């Protein structure tokens, strides 16, 4: 652990030493290494200005989860065959409030993925200014192609173990990739059955049974509002801009919806097979029918849309010229080559709707080119913000009208943009939202950890 003398003289050396220690203690977890390094590399000026942050091993505690839970999830398919998946919940930091973060059901889920997501969540939640800590969870279960009955049996088995670790004042999961209202319903029902309690232990619930209006829309809406704020800071706006959006899940759908509402033209969507470019702009009603009702592929959208839409199998949306890019699918989907293509085509802003969708090399290239870059921990915080508002509504047994929730969401996103922008200025990095977001989130969590002692 660093002492006052060696940290104040050589904060960079201490940070590099901690990076090495993270890799040693967490082998074969590249996504977690990436997330931790991305934050740590911006903290040297903070440690130089406030050496008290290094004294009680605060950084060492910050990168080590408070609790890591791994469990088996046995379940039967419709033919009676037994499957065994692995479940995870990483409760990363509760200095600011109960752990808060989604559950992801996807074959790629492992401990490293969950830890990276949980680490990002700590700073994202801190930036909202709300009383929520950071955590994340999920399973390597794939709900695609499974019947409702199979998904129900899996969710019930998953919650049978998870319920003992969560609660409205302890840990409040939400949805993520592969976990929508259907899955939240099955999880919540099993929690209620086991505990005999109705409490706001999960967010993203259905509107008729404790969910908040605007929660499904919040991540996508918030990301567009953050992009608009970055452009506004430069004396520009979204009106008339062409936008490329990756993905076709919940975040992408409502990103497209909000872009359209603000006068921009979203021309792309994608899935793991390829992407669609639609010269007239994405027909949101048709895309929702294909993706949400039929659970189909974007190729089907192109077939039905007509001459304006082209499906590009295996392609990448970033090759489409645009003013604004909003990666909204998954981690590390936008690499250095993609960033170079965006810059060549004149992109003005990139705002992350997904968690860590841009590789470190791509982030550096975009920032060097002067592109306004909104990191996910700031730009996609709208979802968790409205989740916290759902918690407040559940606690008071009330339901807020959509207008109130949207107003609160806009206020929170504006506050996140302001604190990121002002923090970057304060530490000599004007316009650098990555530095601003990392430091602002860190300071809020670090101050709370210092106040609460070495725990």
Residues catalogued as catalytic: 136
219 in a labelled binding site: yes
125 in a known ligand binding site: no
Residue 387 assigned ligand-binding role: yes
Nearest to 277 by CA among 249, 313, 241: 313
| C-beta separation of 172 from 202 below 8 A | yes
Residue 331 annotated in ligand binding: no
And the tokens for 166? 């969560």
Distance from C-alpha of 177 to C-alpha of 354, rounded to nearest angstrom? 10
Of 56, 91, 53, the closest CA to residue 70 belongs to 91
Residue 435, burial from CB neighbour count under 10 angstroms (0-12, 13-18, 19+): buried
Is 250 labeled as ligand-binding?
A: yes
Does 348 count as an annotated binding residue? no
Check the CA dihedral 125-126-130-136 and report its sign: positive
Q: Which residues pair with 245 in a beta bridge?
A: 326
Strands in 253-303 per DSSP E:
265-266, 268-271, 274-278
Nearest partner of 112 among 35, 42, 21, 60, judged by Cα? 35
Find out whether 54 and 14 touch, Cβ atoms under 8 Å. yes
The response to whether 258 counts as a known ligand-binding position is no
Contact between residue 309 and residue 318 where contact means Cβ atoms under 8 Å apart = no
Closest among 209, 218, 169 to 189, alpha carbons compared: 209
CA dihedral 290, 294, 298, 299 (to 10 degrees): -110
Residue 96, both tokens: 């600011």
Distance CA 246, CA 231 (A): 20
Annotated binding site for NAD(+): 219, 250
Annotated binding site: 100, 121, 124, 175, 219, 250, 387
Annotated binding site for substrate: 100, 121, 124, 175, 387
């Amino acid at each position: 652990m660093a002492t006052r003398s060696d940290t104040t003289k050589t904060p960079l050396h201490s940070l590099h030493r901690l990076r090495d220690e993270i890799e040693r203690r967490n082998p074969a977890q590249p996504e977690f290494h990436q997330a931790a390094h991305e934050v740590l590399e911006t903290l040297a000026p903070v440690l130089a200005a406030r050496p008290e942050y290094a004294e009680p091993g605060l950084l060492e505690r910050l990168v080590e989860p408070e609790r890591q839970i791994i469990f088996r999830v046995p379940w039967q398919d419709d033919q009676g065959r037994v499957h065994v998946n692995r479940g995870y919940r990483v409760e990363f930091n509760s200095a600011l409030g109960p752990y808060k973060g989604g559950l992801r059901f996807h074959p790629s889920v492992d401990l490293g993925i969950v830890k990276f997501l949980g680490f990002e969540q700590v700073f994202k939640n801190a930036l909202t200014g709300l009383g929520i800590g950071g955590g994340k969870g999920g399973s390597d279960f794939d709900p695609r192609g499974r019947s409702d009955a199979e998904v129900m049996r899996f969710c019930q088995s998953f919650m049978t173990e998870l319920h003992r670790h969560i609660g409205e004042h302890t840990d409040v999961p939400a949805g993520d990739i592969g976990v929508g209202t259907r899955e939240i319903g099955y999880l919540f029902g099993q929690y209620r059955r086991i505990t005999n309690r109705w409490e706001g232990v999960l967010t993203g619930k259905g509107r008729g049974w404790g969910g908040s209006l605007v929660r499904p829309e919040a991540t996508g809406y918030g990301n567009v509002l953050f992009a608009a704020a970055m452009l506004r800071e430069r004396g520009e706006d979204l009106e008339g801009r062409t936008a490329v959006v990756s993905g076709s899940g919940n975040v992408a759908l409502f990103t497209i919806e909000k872009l359209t509402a603000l006068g921009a033209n979203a021309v792309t969507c994608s899935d793991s097979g390829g992407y669609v470019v639609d010269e007239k702009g994405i027909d949101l009603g048709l895309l929702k029918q294909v993706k949400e009702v039929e659970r189909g592929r974007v190729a089907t959208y192109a077939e039905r849309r007509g001459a304006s839409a082209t499906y590009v199998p295996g392609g990448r949306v970033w090759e489409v010229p645009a003013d604004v890019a909003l990666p909204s699918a998954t981690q590390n989907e936008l690499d250095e080559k993609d960033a170079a293509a965006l810059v060549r085509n004149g992109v003005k802003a990139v705002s992350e709707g997904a968690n860590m969708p841009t590789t470190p090399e791509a982030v550096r290239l975009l920032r060097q080119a002067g592109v306004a870059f909104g990191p996910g921990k700031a730009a996609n915080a709208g979802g968790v913000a409205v989740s916290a508002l759902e918690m407040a509504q559940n606690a008071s047994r009330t339901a807020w009208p959509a207008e109130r929730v949207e107003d609160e969401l806009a206020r929170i996103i504006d506050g996140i943009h302001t604190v990121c922008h002002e923090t970057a200025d304060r530490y000599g990095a004007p316009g650098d939202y990555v530095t601003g977001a990392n430091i602002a989130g860190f300071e809020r969590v670090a101050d709370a950890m210092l106040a609460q002692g070495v725990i």
